[in-house]
Amino acid sequence: MTDAAVIDAIGHHLPEARETNDELARRIDTSDEWIRTRTGIRARSRAGDDEPTSVLATRAGREALGRATNGGADVDTVIVATTTPDMKCPATAPVVASDLGLENTATFDINSACTGFLAGLATAAGLITSGNSRAVLLVGAEKYSSIIYPQDRGTSPIFGDGAAAMVLRPGYRQQAGAIGRVHLGSDGRLWALAHVLSGGSAQPLAADPHDPFLRMDGRATYRHAVARMTDSCQRVLKDESLTAEDVDLLVAHQANARILTEVARELEVPAEKALVDLTDIGNTAAASIPVALSRAQEAGVLRGGETVLLTAFGAGASWGSTVLRWPELTSPNLTTTEGPNR
C-alpha cells in the first residue's frame, strides 16, 4: 500500500515579455542600481492582456503532463495555488482542468500567497496517501502585474508573472521524490504586512485608487520572512534527522536576493547552495518555488539524488518548509543557459 506521494514530472511557463529595471525607471522614481542592490532583480516577466492566470497555469500544466507517466492520463485532481485568480468566483482550477482536457476531475484553488505551493504539496500528498486521488496536478500560477499599483516603488520592481506545475502520484517514503512532512504555519495578526484591501467581503468597493492593488510593508516583511523561514527549515531538518550540512540545494521562495542570502546564512547553508532564480523574472509568488525547481531541472542543476530544502513566507502571514530527495526526471534540455544561478 502506498505511503507517500512522489514527484513524477515538473514543467513551467514564463511569459516572453520582460520589463527591465531601466524600463521601469521611466515611469517611477527608481533606477537600475537601486533595484538591483536591494532585490537582486534586473527584469521581471510580464504577461499580456490576453494571458490571465489560467492561461499561464494551463501552459505550465501541459508541460508537466507531457513529461508525466502515461502523459498524466490518471490525473484526477487539479489544484491551483494562486493569489491572482482569473476572477473572484469561480476558482481558476476548473478552468485550467477544462483547458487541459481533464474531464470530471476534482478541482480547487489554494490561496496562501507565496506559501501556496507548499500548502498545495501538503494537500496533494494527503489526497494521494488517503486514497482519495490517483494522481494530482499541482500548479503554482500568478499574474501579479494585475494587482500591482504601477507607481508603487515598493512592489512594482519586485513581482513578476509565471507558472509551474508538478504531477504527483502514489509511491513510497523511501523513493526519491517522496513528499514527507510539510511544516506549515501562520500568524493572522500580521495580515497587514501584505494585502489587497478591496474586493472582498470586508470592503467590496475601493475607497481610493490604491485599494484594489497590493500594499506591502517591505522592511517588516523582510524581518518576519527571515525569522519564520529559518525556524521552519530547522524544524523539518530536525524531523528528518538532517542538518544543514546534508542540504545540497536550498530553494526558498524567491522574494528577493537579500532574503535568500540571509536565510542561508541563518541556516549555515553555504551561499553557493542557495538557489537564486529571480534575477530575470522577479518574484512570482506561489509559482516561484516550482518555477525555480523546473528551471534548475532543465539547467542540469538538479539531476536526481540531491537533498533539497524548500521554504516560503507569504501574506497572511503564512510560512512553510519541507525537505526531499530530488528524483531523476525527464528533462527536454540539459544544456540550456537560461535558468537559475547558484
Q: Which CATH superfamily is domain 183-325 in?
A: Thiolase/Chalcone synthase (3.40.47.10)
pLDDT confidence band for 335 (50 / 70 / 90): very low
Domain segments of the chain as ranges? 4-171, 183-325
Residue bearing cell 490518471 = 74
pLDDT at 75: 98
Rg, Å, the chain Cα set: 19
Q: What is the pLDDT of residues 71-113, one digit of tens each?
A: 999 999 999 999 999 999 999 999 999 999 999 999 999 999 9
**Percentage above 90 pLDDT, the chain:** 92
Question: Band of the pLDDT at 331, cuts 50, 70, 90?
Answer: low
Q: Which of 12, 13, 253, 256 is catalytic?
A: 253
Active site residue 283: yes
pLDDT at 333 over 90: no
pLDDT in tens, 8-37: 999 999 999 999 999 999 999 899 999 999
Taken as a whole, the chain contains a residue count of 342
pLDDT of 63 above 90:
yes
Q: Once rounded to an integer, what is the mean pLDDT over residues 168-189?
A: 96
Q: Is 253 a catalytic residue?
A: yes
Q: Do domains 4-171 and 183-325 have the same CATH topology?
A: yes
From the number of C-beta atoms within 10 Å of its C-beta (0-12, 13-18, 19+), residue 333 rates as: exposed
Q: What is the pLDDT of residue 330?
A: 73
May I ask the CATH class of domain 4-171? Answer: alpha beta
Confidence of residue 192 (pLDDT cuts 50, 70, 90): very high
pLDDT of 208 above 50: yes
The mean pLDDT of 130-153, rounded to a whole number, is 96
Alpha-carbon distances of 24 from 27, 46, 95, 148, rounded to whole Å: 6, 12, 32, 13
| pLDDT reading at 1 higher than 80 | no
Write out pLDDT tens, residues 265-316: 999 999 999 999 999 999 999 999 999 999 999 999 999 999 999 999 999 9
pTM, two decimal places: 0.94
Q: Per-residue DSSP letters for 160-210?
A: -EEEEEEEEEEE-TTSTTB----EEEE-GGGGGGEEE-SSSSS--S-SSTT
Show the cell assigned to 67.
Answer: 513529461
Q: How much is the mean pLDDT over the chain?
A: 94
Choose, from 114, 183, 233, 256, the residue flagged as catalytic: 114
- What does DSSP say about strands 214-216 and 194-196: parallel, antiparallel, or unpaired? antiparallel
